[in-house]
Amino acid sequence: MVITDEDLDPVIRKNSTVSAIVTEVEEFMRDKKRGLVVTPPRFKCEASEGRLVMTSGASERKKLIGLRVYSTFEGPNHDKQITAVYEMNGNLKGIFVGGHVGQLRTAAINAVAIKHLSRHDSTTLGVIGTGRQARSVVPVVAQVRDFSRIIVNSQTHGHAEKFIESMRKDFSAAGVEAVAEENSRKLVEKSDVVVAVTTATKPVIASQWLQPGQHITSMGQKYREAHEIDPLIVSKADIAVTDSCQQLKSYGSLFFVDDAVRSRIAELSDFIDGSGRKDDDTSVFLSEGLAGTEVVVADRLLSILAKENHGNSKEMHFSHIVS
């Protein structure tokens, strides 16, 4: 069965779908802590005009294995992704073509991080970045905390206002006030949780802006020559966490903090179920995209689609593999 983004559109934005996917990723993190998942670093195949990037992983508990592949080639179809899910008996359960699986999986990982690393009484979410990834992440992240206010900043003038306008229905439905802030420092100082989701190559958040009890998430670049947050944030934070220490290790000397600082970065799976945070601790999450999460996310989406199809008199037609 081949499933496209268009097939997923009827269910992808439902609160029930988002909640189910966040729960699925959270359970994957618990399984990681128990040693029940396989999560190797991503693999890159470099060519002269671009590259293919592959993440793969497995859930021993669910007996699933699979992969996700995307390219960096230029052109109208450069963002097409393929996600394949297999049972461990070799049966191919489904293939997804498009970006929805990857976007929802990334959003869910970061939602789980905020759920377990931020203060429970957090009410203000700051978002730096207004691109496509921000649009997919913010509605999911906003479900794990009772935010009453979202502050948005963009490095491009006018984009924050456009972002808010484009998502006004989502914010209104959630009862959240959304405002634009041109100064990123003021945004950080006003926020309990800050999500940086940019393509910036220079820091958009400085370490001296952090407040006691604050949580920072970085979803952008983390290379020595290009990084969206001040490296001192990682060394100064009381808690520094990632979803994949293996992936951070694979960067080698290209990573934006030195080995001594990298060694203090813990696994998100170790913080599931509220371990080790005090109210005045500052925390930082370095989002990498834990391999294997795309497999369980895709499998849950297959179940959701099957349920929707079963309860709908109008049959949903998917493309099928011709053998």
Mean pLDDT confidence for 27-40: 96
Q: Looking at the structure, tell me whether residues 134 and 277 fall in a common domain.
A: yes
Lowest mean pLDDT among 184-188, 265-269, 270-274, 286-290: 270-274
84 in the same domain as 134:
no
* Number of domains the chain contains: 2
Same domain, 303 and 219: no
Range of the domain at 231: 108-286
Do residues 66 and 121 share a domain? Answer: no
Q: Is the pLDDT of residue 318 over 70?
A: no
Whether residue 212 sits in one domain with residue 155: yes
Confidence of residue 74 (pLDDT cuts 50, 70, 90): confident
Rounded to 5 degrees, what are φ and ψ at 59?
Answer: -115, 110
Predicted TM-score (pTM) of this structure: 0.93
**Is the model's pLDDT at 321 over the cut of 80?**
no
Decide if 238 is inside a domain: yes
Q: How many CB atoms lie within 10 A of CB 180?
A: 18
Q: Is residue 147 part of a domain?
A: yes
In a domain, 321, yes or no: no
Alpha-carbon gap, residue 31 to 42, rounded angstroms: 20
Work out the average pLDDT over 98-105.
94
- The pLDDT, as a whole number, for residue 48 is 87
Q: What percent of the chain has pLDDT over 90?
A: 84
- The verdict on 117 and 181 lying in the same domain is yes
pLDDT at residue 1, rounded to an integer: 82
Give yes or no: residues 149 and 243 share one domain.
yes
Q: Indicate the pLDDT class of residue 277, thresholds 50, 70 and 90.
A: confident
CATH, residue 86: 3.30.1780.10
